[in-house]
Amino acid sequence: MQITLPGRKRRILICRRPRARTLVATDQPLFLSNRTSPMTAQGHLLFSVTCVLLAHKVGLTPALADASLWHIVPMALASALLPDLDHPRSLLGRQLPWISGPLSRLFGHRGFTHSLLAVGMGVWGLAQVEAPWLLSGAVKDALIVGYLSHLLGDWLTPMGIPLLWPWRRRFRLPGLPLKSGGGYERAFCLLTLALAGYWVHGGAGLAHF
């Protein structure tokens, strides 16, 4: 704050002392939090690779089981950030403002695009594309897995997702939500990716690379 003395050009600066921060002890584990922020874009991308590796390994669909990872991993990455198109400031929303702007005004963030209704409409839309040379069955399935991985990732956070939109109730991991953002989220995503990669490459998964 500045004070100007009458008749003089001298100014006196009064600086406020910063308030001391108090550390509060808590029994809550460090990797858990009540923060309401969603999973970061980096976390969603890492988690999408984990999910598509697992879907390939367990044979979630025949097409995914027989597909090359070189084909399905990029497709899962491509769709992993699509649900956040309803946020103009998201990574994808900044690249496609003419889409994210209207979506945000209509539904808000974490609304329709984070619901089973959106998934169903996406599955229906992909089914209408009857051009295997453009979108094979494995590519379609990988796109769906990538999209679902985003919903699963946000379901793990305290804020949850409106899975049954337009019903506004949010669903999240009961009891122990994951701390979103920062090193703990990154560690979780990297650890699950490493475990999934090890499981895939531990056996016949290498033959499909």
Residue 22 is assigned to a structural domain of this protein: no
Residue 5 is assigned to a structural domain of this protein: no
Burial of 188-199, coded b for 16+ CB within 10 Å and e otherwise, reads bbeebbeebbee
pTM beyond 0.95, yes or no:
no
Q: What percent of the chain has pLDDT over 90?
A: 54
Residue 75 is assigned to a structural domain of this protein: yes
* Phi, psi angle pair for 12, to nearest 5°: -110, 125
Which tens digits make up the pLDDT trace of 198-209? 999 875 444 444
Query: How many domains does the chain fold into?
Result: 1
Under 8 Å CB-to-CB from 130, ≥6 apart: which residues? none
Alpha carbon distance 7, 115 (integer Å): 66
Residue 3 is assigned to a structural domain of this protein: no
Residue 113 is assigned to a structural domain of this protein: yes
> Which residue type, as a one-letter code, is found at position 70?
W
Residue 126 is assigned to a structural domain of this protein: yes
Residue 4 is assigned to a structural domain of this protein: no
Domain that holds residue 150: 36-200
Which tens digits make up the pLDDT trace of 177-200? 787 777 889 999 999 999 999 999
